[in-house]
């Protein structure tokens, strides 16, 4: 098989997606359930009750394990052989799909890391709590997906607990975000009495059986409509009537509308019980798009069959406490990657060796020798790389930078000991280059007390925790009375600095940012000084 034909075949096998959700919607549990169904793990690590909860495979930071949350995004790759949708053009031996799941932070206060992940995926799974419906963080992340044209599959999770009705959830999603759900499955049994799923495309009943603690794959039994009616009675009849009503409303799946971001295939599930998880994997392999061409910085498409190129979307240090290494995650855009190949770093024009390339499964790693478009590969000790950087082989290509999103929280950071100033500066430079927070400076505050700007305030906790654990520097975070930022210029900065409730800073990338105490102060200054440059930053929450 020729090189280009092999790449094309491998691309057809790839599905790269992220799970977006509000905290406590069950995202990490679903991540682990997917790995369980793909036979990557033998038993789920999440158990009932926060106090006794094991850390899931995608949570590796000590902060995550202690608090039962996901703070940093993690890339998981596994194979899955679809039962009903073999790889197009694959051999008769059911070539497996390669699933690249980028797990995003799941705490109430999220970061730019969450947004950057969405630049590296081809689809998203929107996980919604059956009882709570759409929540603020889900809405923010949905807007990022819509802005980037990322198709969304909706999963109503926790159907084993009391919650809203299917039609109430469908109406809420349609009315609040304008995305029309097209359920592929209808639950049999109300929320809190999850018995199985009516497959709307076949009319069959998928009946689930619980396992102890949901630690293993839930057995399934496929029944035809007649057998389902005999077993479930009124519950089956209600599911059939809901399915018929959805058909009358025109809410059946349309692939073109899904890929255009107008509709969303919907599944009902319980990640804790492993109900509906196989169905999600089947929908991902059948409906989610394979990797496609990506436009370069000049707007020209980089086709997946062209020579190797990749975008760095995340840099993470401290994953291995014994080695203090630095891992850069790259999403492969085109061509075949071979470990050891020397590529070019577009931002500097310098060669970059890829000897230490790894696939990452939570905290566990394994050497990766080859990878293809859609794959996420970790490059170890990649000190020269930053989020948004491009690597390529052959003819030069550079992809657009990943935008910095509008911060909403601002704090000054200082070391508690003046004798630690050198370590403090080194740590600050590293965390800044990783994009953990945006770092702002001005002459008044100086380098000893930079201002940290973040999308979510928990990023300040991440900074102080890593300052202490990785660099031995105790720090103090002092919240500032600012709530929003605007980009400005050198001509406007002096006048803005004279205004009450405003302070001007320089970000590490050279951008001038004016911080405002509140929206009313911003509106007053815009009215009184219409000549000043005050431009919104790339934002999802404003």
- Residues annotated as binding site for GTP? 103-107
On the CB side of 119, CA atoms within 13 Å amount to 23
3-state class of 31 per DSSP?
Answer: helix
User: Reading across the β-sheet that carries 14-21, which strands appear in turn?
Assistant: 74-80, 97-103, 14-21, 123-129, 152-157, 263-268, 180-183
Residue 525 Ramachandran class (φ > 0 left, ψ -120 to 50 alpha, else beta): alpha
Q: Give Cα separations from 239 to 198, 200, 205, 227, 263 (angstroms).
A: 7, 10, 10, 14, 21
Helix 27-37 vs helix 277-287: crossing angle, to nearest 10: 80
3-state class of 228 per DSSP?
Answer: helix
**Sole residue written with tokens 């059946």:** 252
Q: Give Cα separations from 405 to 154, 311, 338 (angstroms).
A: 25, 18, 33
**Residue 496, phi then psi, degrees to nearest 5:** -65, -40
DSSP alpha helix (H) spans, 57-165: 62-67, 112-117, 136-148
How far apart CA 5 and CA 532 sit, in angstroms, is 55
3-state class of 470 per DSSP?
Answer: helix
Structure tokens at 90: 């694959």
How far apart CA 484 and CA 112 sit, in angstroms, is 15
CB 205 within 8 A of CB 223: yes
CB 101 within 8 A of CB 17: yes
Contacts of 480 (CB under 8 A, 6+ apart): 410, 411, 412, 451, 515
Q: Give Cα separations from 491 to 328, 487, 494, 513, 515 (angstroms).
A: 37, 12, 7, 13, 16
Structure tokens at 104: 């995003």
How far apart CA 517 and CA 314 sit, in angstroms, is 31
Distance of CA 239 to the CA centre of its chain: 33
Least Cα distance to 465 among 456, 483, 450, 477 occurs for 477
Structure tokens at 459: 């990023």
CB 429 within 8 A of CB 413: no
CB 73 within 8 A of CB 119: no
In the chain, the largest separation of any two C-alpha atoms, in whole Å, equals: 78
CB 105 within 8 A of CB 71: yes
Annotated binding site: 103-107
**Sole residue written with tokens 């990878």:** 371
Least Cα distance to 57 among 74, 72, 78 occurs for 74
């Amino acid at each position: 098989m020729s090189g280009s034909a092999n790449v094309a075949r491998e691309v057809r096998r790839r599905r790269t997606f992220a799970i977006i959700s509000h905290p406590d919607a069950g995202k990490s549990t679903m991540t682990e359930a997917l790995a369980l169904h793909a036979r990557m793990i033998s038993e789920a690590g999440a158990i009932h009750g926060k106090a006794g909860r094991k850390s899931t495979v995608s949570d590796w930071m000590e902060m995550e394990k202690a608090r039962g949350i996901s703070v940093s995004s993690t890339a998981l790759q596994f194979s899955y052989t679809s039962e009903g949708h073999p790889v197009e053009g694959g051999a008769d031996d059911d070539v497996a799909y390669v699933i690249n799941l980028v797990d995003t932070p799941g705490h109430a206060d999220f970061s730019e890391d969450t947004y950057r992940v969405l630049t590296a995926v081809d689809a998203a799974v929107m996980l919604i709590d059956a009882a709570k419906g759409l929540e603020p963080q889900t809405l923010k992340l949905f807007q990022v997906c819509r802005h980037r044209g990322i198709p969304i599959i909706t999963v109503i999770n926790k159907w084993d607990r009391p919650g809203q009705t299917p039609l109430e959830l469908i109406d809420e999603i349609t009315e609040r975000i304008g995305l029309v759900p097209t359920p592929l499955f209808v639950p049999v049994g109300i929320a809190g009495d999850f018995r199985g799923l009516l497959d709307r495309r076949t009319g069959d009943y998928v009946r689930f059986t619980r396992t102890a603690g949901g630690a293993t794959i839930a057995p399934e039994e496929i029944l035809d409509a007649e057998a389902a009616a005999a077993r479930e009675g009124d519950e089956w009849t209600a599911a059939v009537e809901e399915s018929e009503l959805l058909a009358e409303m025109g809410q059946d799946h349309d692939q073109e509308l899904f890929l255009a971001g107008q509709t969303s295939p919907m599944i009902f599930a319980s990640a804790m019980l492993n109900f509906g998880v196989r169905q999600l994997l089947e929908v991902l392999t059948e409906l989610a798009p394979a990797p496609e061409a990506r436009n370069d910085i000049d707007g020209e498409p980089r086709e997946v069959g062209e020579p190797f190129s990749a975008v760095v979307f995340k840099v993470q240090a401290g994953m291995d406490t014994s080695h203090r290494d630095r891992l850069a995650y790259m999403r492969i855009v085109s061509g075949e990657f071979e470990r050891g190949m020397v590529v070019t770093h577009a931002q500097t024009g310098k060669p970059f060796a890829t000897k230490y390339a790894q696939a990452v499964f939570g905290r566990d790693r394994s050497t990766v020798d080859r990878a293809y478009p859609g794959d996420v590969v970790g490059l170890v000790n990649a000190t020269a790389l930053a989020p948004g950087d491009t690597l390529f082989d052959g003819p030069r290509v550079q992809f657009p930078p990943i935008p910095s999103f509008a911060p909403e929280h601002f704090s000054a950071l200082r070391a508690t000991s003046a004798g630690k100033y050198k370590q403090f500066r080194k740590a600050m430079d590293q965390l800044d280059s990783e994009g953990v927070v945006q770092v702002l400076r001005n002459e008044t505050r100086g380098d000893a007390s930079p201002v940290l700007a973040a999308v979510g305030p928990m990023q300040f906790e991440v900074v102080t925790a890593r300052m202490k654990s990785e660099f031995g520097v105790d720090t103090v975070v002092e919240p500032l009375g600012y709530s929003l930022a605007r980009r400005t210029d050198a001509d406007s900065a002096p006048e803005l600095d004279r205004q009450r409730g405003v302070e001007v800073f320089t970000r590490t990338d050279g951008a001038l940012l004016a911080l405002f105490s509140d929206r009313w102060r911003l509106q007053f200054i815009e009215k009184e000084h219409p000549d000043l440059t005050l431009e919104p930053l790339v934002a999802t929450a404003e």
